[in-house]
Amino acid sequence: MAICRQGAGDRLLFVDMRGNVAITIKDIARQAGVSAATVSKVLNRKDQFISEETREKIWSLARERNYTPNSIARSLVTRSSRVIGIIVPDILNAYFTELVRACDVAARERGYSTILCNSDSDPEKEAAHLTFLASHGVDGIVMAASDLIPDAGLLERLRIPLISMDREIPELDCLAARIDTDYETGAFLSASHLIGAGHKRIAFVSGNPLASNTKIRRAGYERAHREAGLPIDPDLIECGAFNHRFGLMATRTLLDRTSFSAMCCMSDMLAMGATVALRERGLGVPEDCAVMGFDNIYIAPLLVRPLSTVERRISEAGQLAVDALIDFLDDPTQPRRMVLMEPTVILRETT
């Protein structure tokens, strides 16, 4: 925690640059000639019954000696850390980068800090992070879509208020809110746009085929086809993961297997990978193949050929999640929120 050395007596002393012992509430108390309790009250602004004089003295002493409270000790007694944990599959996915940033901003605005964990969509890591966060006393957790159903037993046991983002989750006592995107509609809009533009063979690329958030999107894609009276060809479907590497591989596979004039990618990262694969084969976007993304990550409009995509207001979702969590922490009896965000289509230059 800090570089320390043996003190004059027996106890370990934390020393600063000039060899002074690091400041605790007791030191302030001694110097001010009051008790630790009084210092605590003043510093926590529970000082209605403290004389103006001692108050002043304590504050000036604290400032002068650069007193910083030990949050660890405080958390131990108050059983609250004002920290919230955030678990996402992979912060390298720009969608989650934005989400995490939004959560962090929202949390800080309300006096909370965040601890970030990457799960790599691995349930083991996810469980480890959950335990880690619990053990570090976070007040709440925002958990975003990994592809798999979490260990509900663990979640129940931890009893830490939880916000679940974009994933199915069992009914939990500690569930503070669910923030979801209407994937079915999003995928439906995406496919419908492409169908409306005259495309008949549209590839569908998405994440883990076993995960509900892929199944649901696929349902939207299929509904668009049914409503347009178009057949659904399983050869056009490739599901694996939401990152750009899979987008690249899936597109190569599709290109080898069949033909199509448009792609319905279920994340922008996927769409970026797809675009690279298309170029590899000398196919122009959108002339030879149109590409739709999903998420509207902040780099989507920065691509040389700005990506048409499904907007899902990532930052708003992150903000919503954290606010719901902290509101729940403030008052756990309030009704649980279930938010379903409606996506919209943004047309740029890849379709």
Which residues contact DNA (rule: CB under 7 A)?
A: 11, 14, 22, 24-26, 33-38, 40-41, 43-44, 46, 49-55, 69-70, 73-74, 76-78
> Least Å distance between CB 150 and a second copy?
15
Contacts of a second copy in 44-63 (CB under 8 A): none
Q: Which of 44, 332, 334, 340 binds a second copy (CB under 8 A)?
A: 332
Contacts of 335 (CB under 8 A, 6+ apart): none
Please, which residues bridge with residue 178 across strands?
A: 164, 338
> Least Å distance between CB 53 and a second copy?
27
C-alpha–C-alpha distance, residues 240 and 209, integer Å = 6
318 lies in the binding site for a second copy (CB under 8 A): no
Contacts of 278 (CB under 8 A, 6+ apart): 251, 255, 284, 285, 288, 289, 291
Classified as helix, coil or strand, 350 is coil
268 lies in the binding site for a second copy (CB under 8 A): no
C-alpha–C-alpha distance, residues 343 and 351, integer Å = 18
Cis ω on the peptide bond leading into residue 286 (within 30° of 0)? yes
> Least Å distance between CB 58 and DNA?
9
Q: Which of 298, 327, 339, 345 binds a second copy (CB under 8 A)?
A: 298
C-alpha–C-alpha distance, residues 138 and 193, integer Å = 44
* Residue 16 contacts which entry, a second copy, DNA, none (Cβ below 5-8 A, type-dependent): a second copy
> Least Å distance between CB 121 and a second copy?
14
> Least Å distance between CB 7 and DNA?
10
Q: Indicate the angle between helix axes 314-330 and 94-109, nearest 10 degrees.
A: 40
Stretch 167-206: interaction string toward a second copy, x if CB under 8 A: ------xx--------------------------------
Q: Which two tokens stand for residue 229?
A: 């009276």
139 lies in the binding site for a second copy (CB under 8 A): yes
> Least Å distance between CB 200 and a second copy?
25
**Which strands form 202-206's sheet, in the order they lie side by side?**
237-239, 202-206, 262-265, 290-292
Max CA distance (Å), the chain: 86
92 lies in the binding site for a second copy (CB under 8 A): yes
Contact 253, 226 (CB under 8 A): no
Residues that bind a second copy (CB under 8 A): 1-4, 12, 14-17, 22, 66, 68-73, 75-76, 79-81, 83, 90-92, 94, 97-98, 100-101, 104, 113-118, 131-132, 134-139, 156-161, 173-174, 244, 272-273, 275-276, 279, 285, 298-299, 301-305, 332
